[in-house]
Structure 1
Amino acid sequence: MKRAQAAPALSLAGIDKSFGHVQALSEVSLEVRAHEVVALVGDNAAGKSTLAKIIAGVLQPDAGIIESDGVPVTIANPAAAHALGIASVFQDLALCDNLDVVQNLYLGRELRRGLRLDDEAMEDEARRILRSLTSRIPSVRTPLAGLSAGQRQSVAIARTLLGEPRVVVLDEPTASLSVSQTAEVLMHVERLRELGHAVILISHNMTDVRAVADRIEVLRHGRNNGSFSGADVGYEEIIAAITGASAPPRHDALRDGPRSA
């Protein structure tokens, strides 16, 4: 007897969003489960960032249903997203060059012992999180200004783990990185999956996507235009769905679950 599969960590169905007369999203669906990396791909203005901001609580949909572990929820603002265990890293990273790694991780969420900052506890937790990601940052007291672009991305990802999120959204995490820096960030994505997080990866880089994604979801003109197994799909098939050269059916038979951790 086949065991029933757990509800998705996050599920969106029939999501609509318009800005004036511009329909950014139309009946979009997306779901992601624990221990799974789902890549969201599409051309510019396909609706990827709009959907990511809805998940993060920055924008609210005009219509549609959002469920967390099978329970309908409303993500009214970023605080509500955080309460649901949803963490997002957008392209600007929102890091401070004049602060060190620990200070960036705990900015606005500092630990205190009485009236004083608990520097020792924050350093210990920062080291633990960076080790869990197998990060190569030399010291948690290194100023951000002294880190590479890839290491800064590591800090931004590590910061999301302070709240022990269930869902992590990464918006173009390898944009403008070198080959070695990209490899390090992709390793972090794989570690997030191994640690049990549900990961939504937004990217234009098909090589990166196919390297780590369990499933690839294509948006075109604000609509779903293909769902593929990351392990089996060919580059040409993804590009055809992105450009509209073909409108492939959803590969529901390929959606039995994530890769083995």
Structure 2
Amino acid sequence: MSNKKSPWIKSLLISVLILAGIGAGIGAVIVEPIVGREGVLIPPAGWLAGLAEICRKRGTLLIADEIFTGFGRTGRLFAVEHEGVRPDILCCGKALGGGLPIAAVIARRDLFRCWETSGEARHTATFLANPLACAAALAVLDVLHEEDLAARAGRLGEILGRRLATWPERFPAVEEVRGRGLLWGIQLRAAETAKKWMLAAWARGILILAGGPEGRVAQLVPPLKINEEQLEEAIRILEGSPAAGKP
């Protein structure tokens, strides 16, 4: 479910037109397939694929930032898969470590060859390749594969999306709802209402992230291991919050 009416879409499309007209000379474009912390902003269908095609024709590297959306969050292993896009470089982290700090870069083989050395340290860090974090990451990847958590997030996301889609009409405080898989943003009309609503949810055991302009977007990012019964209970709690307004 995308945010077709959001005003940022116009700026997003203009940026692509500018890029298309510049021609060669741009080394790389970095993009989030879904903008997470700014309020779960989802580009229109075809936008990311169009951007990838422009980059390909211009010889510009496309770098996808999947730190927030990667590893099953949106119903696919990576969010770029919804558009059939294969970026030149993909950045990931967060969920990869299952709570432990770790990040990784995935890239085309020919790009990694640029980092080959004859002995000098071209890239290093004090805590690079921490063995505990790497062991956790391997375990996370095993569970993702064995339990098919990405597909599961997609199925649960359809259930959640159907329920949330009615909220703008049912609850006066809700302006717009948008999301994919188990990543959803509920945009409230007023920042103060959003704050009260999130505090009420926290008091009843539902943790919500504040995002978007003025913190008006309540972000629902449940664990991929959540079951349908738990998801339904969370929805009931959120719908029962006085701050959301009466249906």
Q: TM-score, normalised by structure 2?
A: 0.27
More helix as a share of residues: 2
* Bigger CA radius of gyration: 2
RCO greater where, 1 or 2, for CA within 8 Å and sep 6 or more?
1
More strand as a share of residues: 1
Q: TM-score, normalised by structure 1?
A: 0.26
